């Protein structure tokens, strides 16, 4: 899952680097509790974007991923008055989810780190950038939807597009998932 702050460039410019950093820290402070509750693994935070993963071997994790996103959005909404008072902004995040196999490897020699590689990540990142174009908050791939459908009774799944994403040879089927 890629979760990205909407209008981040505008907010960074408006708030300045110190206040923008405090704003992001307040947003992301909510993630820890939710990661435990929904059994998520935070891979990394890159600026205003968070990358999370779940084991695809457990069907309940597909539901956990969607529930995680919408509870994060709900928790931010509950704090909207505080965000508005402290920063003059009510944060909104869009997200994408893809599923499949990835490669986990240690990379680097002087400063090494664990890195995730593969088409699954690239596709998820590209789909997340399409949220604005399709005016959707959560976009997912067909492979994710196929596994998620088994436990989606209180969510609406809607086909959005068969999109030829940047750098992809073949089009990717994109769906939106929203609470009913």
**What is the domain count for the chain?**
1
Q: Is 144 exposed, middle or buried (0-12, 13-18, 19+ CB in 10 A)?
A: buried
What CATH number is attached to the domain comprising 154?
3.30.70.1230
Number of other CB atoms surrounding residue 72 within 10 Å: 23
Q: What is the mean pLDDT of residues 119-140?
A: 92
Region of poorest pLDDT, from 10-14, 89-93, 103-107, 138-142: 103-107
> In this structure, what token pair is assigned to residue 27?
């947003």
Tens-place pLDDT, residues 12-54: 999 999 999 999 999 999 998 999 999 999 988 988 999 999 9
138-141 and 93-97: which strand pairing?
parallel
What is the pLDDT confidence band of residue 113, given thresholds at 50, 70 and 90? Answer: confident
CA distances from 84 to 10, 11, 87, 114, 152 (A): 15, 12, 5, 37, 33
Check whether 67 has a pLDDT greater than 90: yes
End-to-end CA distance of the chain: 21
* Domain encompassing residue 107: 2-179
pLDDT cut 70: percent of the chain above it: 100
Q: What is the mean pLDDT of residues 103-124?
A: 82
Check whether 141 has a pLDDT greater than 80: yes
């Amino acid at each position: 899952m890629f979760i990205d702050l909407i209008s981040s460039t505008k907010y960074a410019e408006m708030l300045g680097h110190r206040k923008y950093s405090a704003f992001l820290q307040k947003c992301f402070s909510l993630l820890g509790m939710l990661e435990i509750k929904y059994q998520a693994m935070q891979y990394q935070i890159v600026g205003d974007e968070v990358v999370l993963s779940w084991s695809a071997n457990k069907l309940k994790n597909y539901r956990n991923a969607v529930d995680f996103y919408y509870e994060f959005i709900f928790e931010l909404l509950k704090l909207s008055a505080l965000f508005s008072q402290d920063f003059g902004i009510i944060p909104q995040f869009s997200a994408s989810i893809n599923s499949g196999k990835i490669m986990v490897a240690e990379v680097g020699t002087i400063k090494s780190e664990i890195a995730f590689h593969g088409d699954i990540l690239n596709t998820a990142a590209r789909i997340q950038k399409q949220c604005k174009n399709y005016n959707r908050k959560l976009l997912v791939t067909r492979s994710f939807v196929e596994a998620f459908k088994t436990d989606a009774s209180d969510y609406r799944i809607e086909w959005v597009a068969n999109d030829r994403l940047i750098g992809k040879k073949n089009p990717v089927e994109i769906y939106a998932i929203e609470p009913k």
